Structure 1
Amino acid sequence: MTFQKLHEQVLTLPEDDRWELINILMKSLRSKPPLVNRYKGLASSLVGIAKTNAPAPTDEEVKSILETRLLQK
């Protein structure tokens, strides 16, 4: 069943049934951890992935790098 057909059928339900459907959907969503929590571990494991022992480039060095990249293109 497509979402559009489901949507049309839900609108034909009596109001009490639609509220019951809302309750069922809310319970199913509460049983799963939010997306933020599911990916929090992944995001925190990526912190420092590009970290090097070299100091951060200065503003002038960044400008020079950008100019070199633009010339290469």
Structure 2
Amino acid sequence: MSLQELKEQAHQLPVSVGEASAKETRLELVRAIIESLQDVPTQPPERSRIIKQMKGLLKTDQLAPTDEQVESMLEERRVEKYL
């Protein structure tokens, strides 16, 4: 059932049965929806889990290269690529 269909059916819940009864019916529906959300286990999305694993793989005991070292590496790469 699509969200739109569910919304349409919610609007079709009885209203003329009596004001208190109609409110109780709709509140019962809201409670059921909330309960269904509470039953869902909270786990990080697959993508987030994978990113955390990848960050762990990138950890090293070495210091990050300095700007000069990075520039030197880039220059070496350019020389290899174009000469």
Interval of TM-score (by shorter of Structure 1 and Structure 2) = 0.5 to 0.7
Aligned-residue CA RMSD in angstroms? Answer: 3.2
Structure 2 residues not aligned, in runs of 5+: 14-21
Report matched runs for 1:1-73 at 5 Å. 1-13=1-13, 14-34=22-42, 38-39=43-44, 42=49, 46=53, 47-62=55-70, 64=71
Larger radius of gyration: 2
Which structure's relative contact order is higher, taking Cα pairs within 8 Å and 6+ residues apart? 2
Change (3 A) 1:59 1:5: same
Q: After TM superposition, give the deviation of residue 3 of structure 1 in Å.
A: 1.6
Render the CA deviation track for 1:22-47: whole Å, top value 9, x for unaligned: 1111111112222xxx129x36x624
TM-score, normalised by the number of residues in structure 2: 0.52
Structure 1 residues not aligned, in runs of 5+: none
Residue type at the aligned position of 1:39: P
Aligned length: 64
Runs of 4 or more consecutive aligned structure 1 residues displaced over 6 Å after TM superposition:
65-69
